[in-house]
Chain A
Amino acid sequence: ETGVTQSPTHLIKTRGQQVTLRCSSQSGHNTVSWYQQALGQGPQFIFQYYREEENGRGNFPPRFSGLQFPNYSSELNVNALELDDSALYLCASSRLAGGGGTDTQYFGPGTRLTVL
């Protein structure tokens, strides 16, 4: 069973630039969630994709956007980077069963984004 993978591991950008982070979900999972973990804090929910559609979003501005592909991998895009976007970005995959319920989220190792 392949776990959740993320790329790149580290990234340095300057303010105003755009960035794309990538995530490959665990085999058999159909849902991907993205989280932002600032230094010294717990992860904060950005959004979730289920069957290629966004089905939930946290308190993040529209410049945070995403995609999910037919193989359930996902991208997180951030436009017009700000200094406060510096954080560890975590991807988590899970399998939502139709009809309700939830399942454990399995996290990738994260991408460390530094905005200068």
Chain B
Amino acid sequence: AQSVTQLDSQVPVFEEAPVELRCNYSSSVSVYLFWYVQYPNQGLQLLLKYLSGSTLVKGINGFEAEFNKSQTSFHLRKPSVHISDTAEYFCAVSAQTYNFNKFYFGSGTKLNVKP
């Protein structure tokens, strides 16, 4: 089975400052990795994903993440945050299995961008 740990439940940051949201996973098989964002009272929106290839992945809204297989991490970064980035962010992992697409989610990190 797979599991995901998001090390920070809340991250406060000032507008225009850089931010890193941490995600570590455990798995006995190869995985795909995802970051989703959830705004209040809404569903999940895909930010970015790692399936294969380059370990640095760029997503929407200026976010990027780097897959580190040796450290089993997939940290999310943004060089300069905006007030509108205030939301909850979820890291998810999916095992590379045949015809089965179960996602394991972390418990989420609430990003609070202050003016």
- Give the interface of A toward B (CB within 8 A): 4, 6, 31, 33, 35, 40-45, 48, 50, 55-56, 58, 90, 92, 94, 96, 98-110, 112
Contacts and interface: CB of A to CB of B under 8 A. Distances in A.
Nearest to A98: B99
Interface of B: 4, 6, 32, 34, 36, 41-46, 49, 90, 94-108
B96 A102 contact: yes
A43 B99 contact: no
Contacts of A105: 34, 94, 101, 103
A4 B6 CA distance: 27
B101 A43 contact: no
B96 to A, nearest CB: 6
A55 B108 contact: no
Q: Which has the most chain B C-beta neighbours within 10 Å: A43, A94, A100, A108?
A: A43
Contacts of A35: 103, 105
> Would you call the interface of chain B mostly helix, strand, loop, or mixed?
strand
22 contacts: A31-B101, A33-B101, A43-B90, A50-B99, A50-B100, A55-B100, A58-B102, A92-B103, A96-B101, A99-B98, A102-B94, A102-B95, A102-B100, A103-B101, A104-B34, A105-B34, A105-B101, A106-B46, A107-B44, A107-B45, A109-B43, A112-B41
B102 A100 contact: no
A56 B100 CA distance: 7
A42 B106 contact: yes
Q: Which has the most chain A C-beta neighbours within 10 Å: B32, B36, B43?
A: B43
Nearest to B103: A105
